[in-house]
Amino acid sequence: MLQQGLQELFAREGIERAAVLPFENCRVTMARLYTRVEGFVPQSVIVFLIPYFSREPENFSAYATAEDYHYFAKGLYERLNAALGALYPAATFLGFADHSPIDERDAAVKAGLGVFGKNRLLLSKEYGSYQFIGEFLSDLPVEMLGTVDAITETACMGCDACLRACPTGVLRGESAECLSAITQKKGELSPEEKALMRRVGTAWGCDECQKVCPYTKGALARGTARTTIPYFKENLITRLDSKTLDALDEEAFSRRAFAWRGRATVERNVKILEEDF
């Protein structure tokens, strides 16, 4: 549990779920991301959840309805880093999201923010799987930031709903890649890959394992899954089709989560769904 001042700092940004844990408890995956900061020796990590769900899109992953969250994260981390520096002027804080030196899901579970699902996602009581994970590494000892609660539950209930719903069977060990990865490939897709996209009805990503998860369904039913952060409620797209893409100039397109693979990839996917068979 974070100290009161830290809780209030994050709450002002719409972040209600944050916790601290010792850095030594984290699974380091890319140490170079923090060792390049001369003299920095991390002792603790503040892990937090960024809820993004606003509306259910028609034919793509929910995380991409708003503009790319990396733009939000950039401003968020600048504000939080300044506020953390004001609270702890002698300390150093390094913020990460997505491209992180630690296994974020593992850290979030160890911090008590959720459990690890069979769909390989973090599942929280509040948001299900509809959250991004962020963290700040700090050279302060844990006790200066808060207390570490005992964690008794780390894995999901194991109902296997996500395994049964997986379109490619990757979660069941029957395939090497998920449908989301297929939609993000460049170049020509195989007839089988195209048919799979049409069957599921996705032009980008895949949320099938999330939609059937009891944690996510429960969070949606309770209303807690919906974000209160304005960024994720503005400039929404709920359907990817030719008309939507044509309305996005290059600057607007570049700010979408699906832009990183290029316009040609997204246009190909839309064409696959719009082809008349």
Give residue for tokens 């991301």: 33
Nearest CA to 18 among 88, 128, 130, 107?
A: 107
Pair of tokens at residue 116: 């690890």
Pair of tokens at residue 109: 């579970």
- Cβ contact 132:107 at 8 Å: no
Pair of tokens at residue 185: 């490939």
φ/ψ (deg, to 5) at 64 = -100, 10
Give residue for tokens 């949320």: 207
The angle that helices 191-200 and 263-274 make with each other, rounded to 10 degrees, is: 70
φ/ψ (deg, to 5) at 147 = -115, 150
Amino acid code (one letter) for 95: G
Produce one character per residue of 161-172: b if its CB has 16 or more CB atoms within 10 Å, e if not: bbbebbbbebbe
- Cβ contact 233:61 at 8 Å: no
Q: Which run of H or E residues covers position 137? A: strand 131-138
Strand order in the sheet with 131-138: 18-22, 44-51, 131-138, 93-97
Concerning whether 98 is annotated as a catalytic residue, the answer is yes
The one catalytic residue in 98, 103, 139, 249 is 98
Rounded Cα–Cα distance for residues 80 and 172 (Å)? 40
Question: Could you list the active site residues?
Answer: 98
